[in-house]
């Protein structure tokens, strides 16, 4: 017998960007090739989602700076710190298996 659950999970991610790296030229190129982000907070949210979903590792505290992240290249050039601060299941619903 199987039981199926839909679990909503929220993560808190601390993202500290290197503002000087997000030049007008970089922002334009990123918009042309990836996502139409106009504001720094959109990059912070994107990086937070990548970290929370396991698509990138923590950055800062002496590790993770050299990892390659699509759209950014060496992530340490754009992010001073990105760390998963906590994760919590906020709701669980059982559905038919």
* Contacts (Cβ under 8 Å, ≥6 apart) of 66: 74, 76
What token pair was written down for 49? 């989602």
Give the domain ranges of the chain.
Answer: 4-95
pLDDT in 10s for each residue of the chain, 97 residues: 899 999 999 999 999 999 999 999 999 999 999 999 999 999 999 999 999 999 999 999 778 999 999 999 999 999 999 999 999 999 999 988 6
Per the DSSP assignment, residues forming a β-bridge with 18 are none
Predicted confidence at residue 62, as pLDDT, reads: 72
Predicted confidence at residue 63, as pLDDT, reads: 80
Predicted confidence at residue 11, as pLDDT, reads: 95
d(CA 85, CA 64): 16
Strands of 3-78 (E only): list them. Answer: 4-17, 68-69, 73-74
User: Dihedral of the CA atoms 16, 21, 23, 27 (nearest 10)?
Assistant: -70
Predicted confidence at residue 8, as pLDDT, reads: 94
Greatest CA separation found in the chain? Answer: 56
DSSP 56: S
């Amino acid at each position: 017998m199987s039981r199926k659950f839909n679990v909503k999970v929220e993560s808190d991610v601390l993202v500290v960007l290197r503002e000087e790296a997000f030049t007008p030229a970089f922002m334009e190129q990123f918009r042309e090739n990836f996502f139409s982000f106009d504001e720094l907070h959109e990059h912070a949210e994107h990086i937070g989602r990548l970290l929370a979903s396991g698509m990138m590792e923590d950055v800062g505290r002496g590790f993770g700076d050299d990892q390659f992240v699509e759209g950014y290249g060496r992530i340490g050039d754009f992010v001073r710190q990105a760390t998963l601060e906590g994760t919590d299941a906020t709701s669980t619903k059982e559905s038919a298996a």
